[in-house]
Amino acid sequence: MNKMIISVLAKDRPGIIASITSDLYELGCNLENVNQMILQNQFAGFFITQVPQSLSCETIRQELSLKEKDHELTIHVRFLEEETQAPVAEKEIFLITTSGPNQKGLVAKLSSIISSFGANIVNLKAVFMGGSNPNENVMSYQVLITKEIDAPAMFAALKEKAKELNLDIRIQHKNIFDVTNKI
């Protein structure tokens, strides 16, 4: 069996997951992970699956496109390499949350700083609804920080940029959100 990742984009409607997973089942695939999200009215789904050796990425894509031809799906398929388990580095997750006036390029400006320090964004949520309510223009980055990263310098750079952009920024370790929200 080969391992593949399949991404599916579509206008959201009931039954997309049921339909795709049924197609994969009929093709002899064995699902390992599925994740989905809906942004505004658009569905995005990710499926990691074991696929019979006889099926190529292109075959899977064509078969799914054929079966779902009435549903205007955008499908991408690629092989996944099995990675050897890397040693567990000491790492911590911080939440970087900003609120303030919507402007073009906010995500690009902040994520560039995070990237320049070698930190990895493991989750990002951004909602820009405009208007004056700061809670309706919020970015929240969950950033993985390893020992090698100069976290104080990165936080200082982010605070400096936020000040320049007139954003309120909060940088807090993930555990504070755990203790206040998860019982």
Partner 1 sequence: MFEDQEIISTIEMVKNENLDVRAVTLGINLFDCISHDLNVFKKNIRKKIIGHAATLVETCDQVGEKYGIKVVNKRISISPIALVGASFSSEQMVEIAHELNDIAKIVNIDFIGGFSALVERGIAKGDQALIDAIPEALANTQRICASVNVATTKAGINMDAVLIMSRAIKKAAALTADADALACAKLCVFSNIPQDMPFMAGAYLGVGQADAVINVGVSGPGVVKRAIERNLAQQRLPLGRIAEIIKRTACKVTRVGELIGREVADILKIRFGVVDLSLAPTPTVGDSVGEIFQALGLSHIGVPGSTAALAMLNDAVKKGGAFASSHVGGLSGAFIPVSEDLKIAEAAQKGFLTIEKLEAMTCVCSVGLDMVAVPGNITEQVLAGIIADEMAIGMINAKTTATRIIPVPGKKAGDSVNFGGLLGKASIMNVPHLDLEDIFVEYGGHIPAPIHSLKN
The residue ranges that bind partner 1 (CB under 8 A) are 95, 97, 123, 125, 127, 135, 138, 140, 142, 168, 170-173, 175-177, 179-181, 183
Q: 11 or 170: whose CB is closer to partner 1?
A: 170
Q: Which residue has the tokens 């019979």?
A: 52
Output 112 or 123, the one with its CB closest to partner 1. Answer: 123
Closer of 73 and 155 to partner 1 (Cβ)? 155
What are the Cα distances from residue 15, in Å, to 90, 106, 170? 41, 35, 39
Measured from the CB of residue 181, what is the shortest distance to partner 1 in angstroms? 4
* CB of 170 vs partner 1, minimal distance in Å: 5
Question: Which tokens go with 44?
Answer: 């995005």
CA dist list (Å): 168 to 69, 103, 145, 182: 46, 14, 22, 25
Dist. CA 174–CA 95, nearest whole Å: 6
Q: How far is the CB of 182 from partner 1 (least distance, A)?
A: 9
To partner 1, the closest distance from the beta carbon of 5 in angstroms equals 20
Encoded tokens for 114: 């995070």
